[in-house]
Structure 1
């Protein structure tokens, strides 16, 4: 099964096809070779894609898995007639039942995002990404009040990737601050964060795992030593508990899970504040 190939074919970026396919493939103990084929938007490109798929079938000795979100009927016809892989039409599977249920025809629009780039939501998301990059790792206190969420935790516990995911996927302006030994000695959060307690979330991590992560960056350093990691995690957790902020562990949860929990909590807080 390791020699199986999975193709993600789209007349747009292919992101939807690959994301949807990932959710399906994770249900199986396989690691197929992955090939994304975006912008397959005419018959010539479809034939090129078919040649690549069929070549993989011959080399692998097994039918490739072909996940597609193609809406162009000409392209889809080429794939259906000539592709030697297992063709999984993700849009076709769901569009027809939705058309029947809603009593209307779909737009059959190619996902090129040309109109998305003109939307307010898109520009808000780009602005959130810029803001998050500027406020990574406590680089600046400027405009901190504009943050939708502020993450705190020891160095290398997952603050930066979680912040970027919140910005990229949910359009949230996310700042993050590292907790350092000076904060532990003072026994309180950095002063710049104190006015923003309602936006704070703490991230923590198992000290053993933290030591492993830090060793990748600074091997054999005190910074990466298990003793130092245990000290920092212990003190950071105590500090966050005293501050009364929610703490989430990144040890066994993915960035996606952590970000989703934070978003749910923020929505609950906003709903409570509105009532």
Structure 2
């Protein structure tokens, strides 16, 4: 395949399309140098919408001069068959796995739409909502109330990735994640803030390359001491020294995705979450 050719990629789903896009992204990132143009088509839950999706796919094929790639998580066989009539290379995640699972489980799939995201009344859904509310309330050291309820407490210098990681943990896994910034006063004392010291077993640290940190901070406070490379080098060095002294597990977030960071946190802190299906 010519890697210089851009390919339009459709994510077709009867729900939000998050499952299709996530699984497809895992596959497409294996192809370096190939550029993909994503098109999302969620809530395809009728034949009319399926035919409209096919029309969009065919228009893209004609415009690009090459057939698009289509990833679908359509459960309804009729809708899936319609989409597969498009001038495209179609991959259906559910059709690939449901039949083998039916054979293995000795059970028949009920082909219910939207099952992967569960009910808003399920225990798993409610636990994620509770975790999100908790995480938002305990962002950036806003409060030290109810820290005993936290599953993990992230520490590190400002803008090293604590907040997005905390929110991802809450939204994806229902983890109650608090986060606290390490500040110059902590470095002068070379000691953890007393509010979190008692929860040492829940602590996990993040660090970051000083140059990368300076770039991130420049976007927030241009030409400030806060964003200067010298200050970032100082803060990162002192934070890492403090975490080593206190025996806190930590990782460098500079070149890692939120997914990678969150998975490492889950593994290192030994957080397990069971969700209702």
TM-score of the superposed pair, with normalisation by structure 2: 0.93
Establish whether residue 256 from structure 1 lines up as the match of residue 259 from structure 2. Answer: yes
Question: Is the contact made by 1:152 and 1:159 (CA closer than 8 Å) also made in structure 2?
Answer: yes
Establish whether residue 244 from structure 1 lines up as the match of residue 252 from structure 2. Answer: no
Question: Is the contact made by 1:136 and 1:175 (CA closer than 8 Å) also made in structure 2?
Answer: yes
Question: Is the contact made by 1:151 and 1:201 (CA closer than 8 Å) also made in structure 2?
Answer: yes
Establish whether residue 204 from structure 1 lines up as the match of residue 195 from structure 2. Answer: no
Question: Is the contact made by 1:136 and 1:176 (CA closer than 8 Å) also made in structure 2?
Answer: yes
Q: 1:181-220 maps to which residues of 2 (within 5 A)?
A: 181-220=184-223
Tell me: CA distance 1:255–1:114, structure 2 relative to 1, closer, same or farther (3 Å). closer
Taking the aligned partners of 1:187 and 1:153, their CA distance within structure 2 comes to 14
Q: RMSD value over aligned CA atoms?
A: 1.7
Deviates more, 1:171-180 or 1:235-244: 235-244
Aligned counterpart for 1:19 among listed residues 19, 22, 25: 22
**Runs of 5+ unmatched residues, structure 1:** 271-275
Establish whether residue 106 from structure 1 lines up as the match of residue 116 from structure 2. Answer: no
Question: Is the contact made by 2:118 and 2:125 (CA closer than 8 Å) also made in structure 1?
Answer: no
3-state SS in 1 of match to 2:145: coil
Aligned counterpart for 1:51 among listed residues 25, 48, 55: 55
Aligned counterpart for 1:6 among listed residues 6, 9, 31: 9
**Runs of 5+ unmatched residues, structure 2:** none
- Count of residues in correspondence between the two structures: 269
3-state SS in 2 of match to 1:256: helix
Tell me: CA distance 1:62–1:269, structure 2 relative to 1, closer, same or farther (3 Å). closer
Moved over 3 A (4+): 112-115
After superposition, give the CA deviation of every residue in 1:112-169 in whole Å (9 maximum; x if it has no partner).
6685211011101111011101111011111111111000100111111111111111
> Which residue does the alignment assign to 1:61?
65
Tell me: CA distance 1:268–1:120, structure 2 relative to 1, closer, same or farther (3 Å). closer
Question: Is the contact made by 2:68 and 2:89 (CA closer than 8 Å) also made in structure 1?
Answer: yes
TM-score of the superposed pair, with normalisation by structure 1: 0.93
The structure carrying a bigger helix percent of its residues is 1
